[in-house]
């Protein structure tokens, strides 16, 4: 059993490899030197995807069977000229039993039914009747998270920053905003169900209707697929933050609270991860091995990951270029070797 940790930065990707103990890591890279590595994921056949982006040369999808040899996909996600939208970045990859999805900026969703070789627009989302009042937040106008129901792959959720969460019951043909109970960030004069700034979503693997939401306005949970959300911040020093992660086996939740949207730094200059072992009912700080003085870095929404082992490994990368790892479910932490550019994405892949 091996664990691969793919760290995406603004100037390339870096690959950490370890055995199941996760105590010693080797480091390879930079991969895609000079490119932003904005997201990574697995395809349906066990291969890997990486999304690259450049302010100059645009966006691409790279594929690999072994994390060593990479090949660029020729028909990746791309807006048409008629759409009027620009492809700025791929934010996330997701997969159902038979399809792959890519969430992008400017906000839209693309799907692939051929294993990732060609991608087509999911028209129902970016063609939504409210699209004219979608506006970007600090992170852009990004569709950054996609969830699905393992029992019914036509049920999909998509989170769009500064817009909100949408749910589809028909494989993406139609979408409905699902944000009731969440506080808005920007209220539109007419479209009252838009203007919610979701930062991250994770889903119970055994109950697709239970979803946790790190939002601009706080930490929330739904038990009915998003029809209603409740705030769950018992023990958190701040409701504001970006990433949220869930350990599939232990059901532990992890988040990194930051001091308000004005400051976006660890509360009191202490780098702490918060863990919930009761489904978000309460949160406890985890700080052993993390800097507890003068820590003013951020952790972006794609920069936290959990592996599938038990105890789970938890990993996050900071805007100041450090990767922190825990091999004991968050009880203790250590910085991995290397000082990197601003970290945009972190994914953990377990290989048997």
Partner 1 sequence: MARVRVEIPSVLAQVVEGRRSVEVEGATLSEAIAALVRLHPALGIHLFDESGRFRQHVLCFHNRTSTRWMEHLDVPVADGDTITILQAVSGG
| Binding status of residue 190 toward partner 1 by CB under 8 A | no
Q: Of 7, 15, 39, 60, which one interacts with partner 1 (CB under 8 A)?
A: 60
In the complex, the smallest distance separating the C-beta of residue 255 from partner 1, rounded to whole angstroms, is 35
* Residue 33 lies near partner 1 (rule: CB under 8 A): yes
Residue 283 contacts partner 1 per CB under 8 A: no
How far is it, in rounded angstroms, from Cα 106 to Cα 85? 6
From candidates 1, 21, 23, 54, binder to partner 1 by CB under 8 A: 54
Binding of partner 1 by 341 (CB under 8 A) = no
CB 351 within 8 A of CB 4: yes
Residue 75: CB minimum distance to partner 1, A: 8
Least distance from C-beta 108 to partner 1, angstroms? Answer: 12
Does residue 26 bind partner 1 (CB under 8 A)? no
* Choice between 84 and 129, CB closer to partner 1: 84
The count of other CB atoms within 10 Å of the CB of residue 70 is 16
Query: 138 exposed, middle or buried (CB, 10 Å; 0-12, 13-18, 19+)?
Result: exposed
110 binds partner 1 (CB under 8 A): no
**What is the arrangement of strands in the sheet containing 334-335, beginning at the earlier edge strand?**
304-306, 314-317, 323-326, 334-335
The least distance separating partner 1 from the CB of residue 81, rounded to whole angstroms, comes to 5
Residues that contact partner 1, how many (by CB under 8 A) = 24
- If binding is defined by CB under 8 A, does position 59 make contact with partner 1? yes
Exposure letters 306-334 (e unless 16+ CB within 10 A, then b): bbebebbbbbbbbbebbbbbbbebbeebe
**Phi, psi at residue 81, to the nearest 5°?**
-60, -35
- Give the residue, chosen from 76, 116, 243, 266, that forms a contact with partner 1 under the rule CB under 8 A: 76
Of 75-83, 278-286, 302-310, 334-342: span binding partner 1 (CB under 8 A)? 75-83
Verify binding: residue 254, partner 1, rule CB under 8 A: no
Which DSSP state fits 140?
A: B
Please state, as a whole number, how many other Cβ atoms lie within 10 Å of the Cβ of residue 269. 13
**Positive or negative CA dihedral for 155, 160, 163, 165?**
positive
- Tell me: does residue 212 bind partner 1 (CB under 8 A): no
Quote the least distance from Cβ 30 to partner 1, whole Å.
12
Residue 83 CB, nearest approach to partner 1 (Å): 7
Tokens of 185: 């960030």
Contact flag: residue 119 with partner 1 (CB under 8 A):
no
Select from 190, 143, 149 the least CA-distant residue to 164. 143
Q: Shortest Cβ distance from residue 68 to partner 1 (Å)?
A: 14
CA dihedral (202, 326, 301, 183) in degrees, to 10, reads 60
Candidates 76-84, 128-136, 204-212, 317-325 — which segment interacts with partner 1 by CB under 8 A?
Answer: 76-84
Q: How far is the CB of 80 from partner 1 (least distance, A)?
A: 7
When the beta carbons of 34 and 281 are compared against partner 1, the nearer one is 34
CA distance 241 to 214: 7
The total of other beta-carbon atoms located within 10 Å of residue 65's CB is 13
Query: d(Cα 271, Cα 256) in Å, to the nearest integer?
Result: 8
* Per-residue contact string for residues 77-106; x = within reach of partner 1 by CB under 8 A: -xxxx-x-xxx-------------------
Q: Nearest to residue 102, comparing CAs of 85, 117, 82?
A: 117
Residues that bind partner 1 (CB under 8 A): 32-35, 54-60, 70, 72-74, 76, 78-81, 83, 85-87
């Amino acid at each position: 059993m091996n664990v691969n940790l793919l760290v995406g930065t603004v100037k390339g990707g870096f690959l950490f490899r370890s055995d199941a103990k996760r105590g010693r890591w080797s480091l390879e890279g930079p991969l895609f030197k000079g490119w932003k590595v904005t997201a990574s994921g697995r395809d349906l056949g066990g291969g890997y995807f990486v999304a690259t982006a450049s302010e100059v040369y645009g966006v691409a999808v790279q594929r690999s069977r072994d994390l060593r040899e990479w090949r660029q996909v020729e028909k990746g996600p791309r807006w048409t000229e008629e759409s009027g939208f620009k492809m700025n970045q791929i934010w996330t990859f997701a997969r159902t039993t038979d399809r792959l999805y890519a969430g992008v900026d400017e906000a839209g969703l693309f799907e692939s039914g051929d294993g990732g070789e060609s991608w087509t627009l999911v028209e129902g989302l970016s063609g939504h009747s409210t699209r004219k009042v979608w506006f970007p937040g600090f992170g852009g106008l990004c569709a950054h998270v996609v969830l699905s129901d393992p029992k019914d792959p036509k049920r999909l959720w998509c989170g769009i920053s500064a817009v909100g969460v949408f749910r589809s019951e028909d494989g993406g043909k139609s979408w409905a905003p699902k944000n009731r109970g969440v506080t808005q960030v920007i209220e539109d004069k007419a479209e009252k169900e838009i203007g919610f700034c979701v930062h991250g979503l994770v889903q119970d693997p055994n109950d697709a209707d239970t979803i946790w939401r790190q939002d601009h306005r706080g930490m929330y949970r739904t038990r009915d697929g998003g029809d209603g959300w409740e705030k769950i911040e018992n023990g958190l020093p701040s409701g504001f933050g970006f990433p949220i992660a869930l350990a599939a086996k232990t059901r532990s939740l992890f988040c990194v609270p930051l001091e308000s949207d004005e400051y976006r730094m660890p509360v009191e200059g202490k780098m702490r991860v918060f863990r919930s072992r009761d489904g978000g009912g309460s949160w406890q700080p985890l700080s052993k091995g993390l800097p507890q003085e003068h820590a003013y870095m951020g952790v972006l929404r794609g920069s936290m990951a959990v592996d599938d082992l038990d105890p789970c490994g938890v990993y996050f990368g900071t805007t100041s270029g450090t990767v922190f790892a825990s091999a004991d479910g968050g009880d203790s932490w250590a910085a991995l070797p290397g000082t990197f550019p601003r970290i945009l994405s972190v994914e953990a892949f377990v290989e048997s």
